[in-house]
């Protein structure tokens, strides 16, 4: 009986997602979860591209869809607004840039109830924004171990496993009373900080391969570089708040960039440093070309050629963002406020 199922509040933070919001909402409304046991709260960051008009057309036709206003226009604020308005005992975050199969909500709720996990997520399958080689290469890089390391929700797993973070979340509403809300200083990586705080307090996070969603990656190199620079930029702030680095993988890109730039500068005075710089750069270039070449078998030579550009773009953008934030910590007691209103709210 549907009355026996827990009531679920679905939160959809968004800003300027006109291209994707309709298909996202259609996929959520097509869920196998009983329609009288969930609500959809779309928290819009004052979109100016027509997104709100699309959402309002859904609120007019579907009583379970509500539109909430996010005046600050950033993701953590949107999530906190949605959590405070949520009527459900279970809260699920679902981003506008993603398509969800019918079993997504039921699968997460079942995993949450069966395992005793505090937070549950599924695998994020990355799809290209369009059919161009650049878009396809970006999608490949964002789900490749060389591109994103051991980020299991991106590269996938074969069986359920406990992890340090997940793409979105499915948890009981009371978890936020116990752990706290999302940190609104973190325009990016607020989910990672929340999950680290949860684990620090003895919580457990489960990744279930039986549940998947389909994320449409950014379509241009500029968009991806900007996004990964932002990811790297906010990581030191998260580490400072937590008092530690969350995972080793977060340090690899900035350490690589520092080692390459550092040895390159030292080469002016120390010939040995030049040889070391060449060795580091050569080893990295070999890895890039090898991974890109292997991808050609499945994705074609044009995609592989672009992939050889996308891999370094991810690593250097993230590394430089991380380094810039560290330098701001050193130069300023409090880093200057950065313009955040124009950032997309989805991944």
- Provide the pLDDT for residue 101: 96
3-state secondary structure of 290: helix
| Closest to 306 measured CA to CA, from 169, 161, 99, 138 | 138
Q: How far apart are CA 229 and CA 236, in angstroms?
A: 12
pLDDT per residue over 16-56, tens digit each? 999 999 999 999 999 999 999 999 999 999 999 999 999 99
The span from the first CA to the last CA of the chain, in angstroms, equals: 36
Res 336: pLDDT: 52
131 CA to centre of own chain: 22
Cα–Cα dist 130/216, whole Å: 9
Give me the helix-helix angle, 252-266 and 301-331, nearest 10°.
Answer: 80
Q: How confident is the model over 215-267, as pLDDT tens digits?
A: 999 889 999 999 999 999 988 888 888 777 767 778 889 999 999 998 989 88
| Residue ranges, the chain, pLDDT below 70 | 1-2, 246, 332-347
Q: What is the pLDDT of residue 341?
A: 44
Q: What DSSP string runs through 51-67?
A: HHHHHHHHHHH-TTEEE
Residue-wise burial string across 193-224, b where 16 or more C-beta atoms lie within 10 A, e elsewhere: bbbbbbbeeebebbbbeebbbbbbbbbebeeb
Which H/E stretch holds residue 311? helix 301-331
pLDDT of 71: 93
Query: What value, to the nearest 5°, has the Cα angle with vertex 237 and ends 181 and 170?
Result: 35
Question: 159: closest CA among 212, 210, 124?
Answer: 210
pLDDT of residue 4: 83
- pTM score > 0.95 for this model? no
Assign 58 to helix, strand or coil. helix
């Amino acid at each position: 009986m549907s009355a026996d199922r827990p009531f679920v509040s679905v939160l959809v933070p968004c800003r300027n997602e006109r291209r994707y919001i309709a298909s996202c909402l259609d996929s959520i409304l097509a869920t196998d979860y009983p329609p009288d046991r969930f609500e959809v709260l779309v928290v819009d960051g004052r979109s100016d591209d027509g997104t709100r008009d699309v959402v309002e057309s859904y609120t007019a036709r579907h009583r379970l869809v509500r539109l909430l206003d996010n005046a600050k226009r950033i993701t953590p604020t949107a999530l906190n607004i949605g959590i405070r308005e949520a009527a459900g005992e279970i809260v699920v975050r679902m981003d506008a840039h993603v398509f969800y199969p019918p079993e997504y909500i039921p699968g997460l709720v079942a995993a949450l109830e069966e395992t005793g996990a505090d937070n549950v997520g599924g695998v994020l399958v990355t799809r290209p924004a369009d059919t161009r080689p650049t878009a396809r290469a970006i999608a490949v890089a964002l789900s490749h171990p060389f591109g994103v390391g051991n980020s299991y929700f991106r590269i996938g797993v074969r069986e359920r496993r406990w992890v340090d973070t997940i793409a979105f979340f499915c948890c009981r509403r009371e978890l936020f009373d116990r752990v706290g809300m999302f940190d609104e200083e973190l325009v990016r990586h607020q989910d990672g900080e929340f999950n680290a705080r949860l684990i620090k307090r003895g919580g457990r996070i489960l990744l279930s391969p039986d549940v998947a969603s389909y994320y449409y990656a950014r379509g241009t190199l500029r968009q991806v570089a900007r996004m990964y620079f932002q990811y790297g930029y906010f990581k030191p702030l998260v580490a400072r708040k937590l008092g530690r680095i969350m995972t080793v993988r977060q340090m690899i890109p900035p350490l690589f960039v520092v080692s390459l730039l550092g040895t390159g500068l030292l080469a002016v005075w120390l010939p040995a440093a030049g040889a070391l710089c060449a060795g580091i750069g050569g080893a990295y270039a070999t890895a890039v070309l090898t991974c890109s070449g292997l991808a050609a078998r499945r994705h074609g030579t044009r995609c592989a050629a672009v992939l050889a550009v996308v891999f370094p773009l991810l690593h250097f953008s993230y590394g430089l963002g991380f380094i810039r934030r560290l330098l701001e910590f050193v130069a300023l007691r409090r880093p200057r406020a950065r313009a955040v209103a124009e950032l997309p709210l989805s991944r």
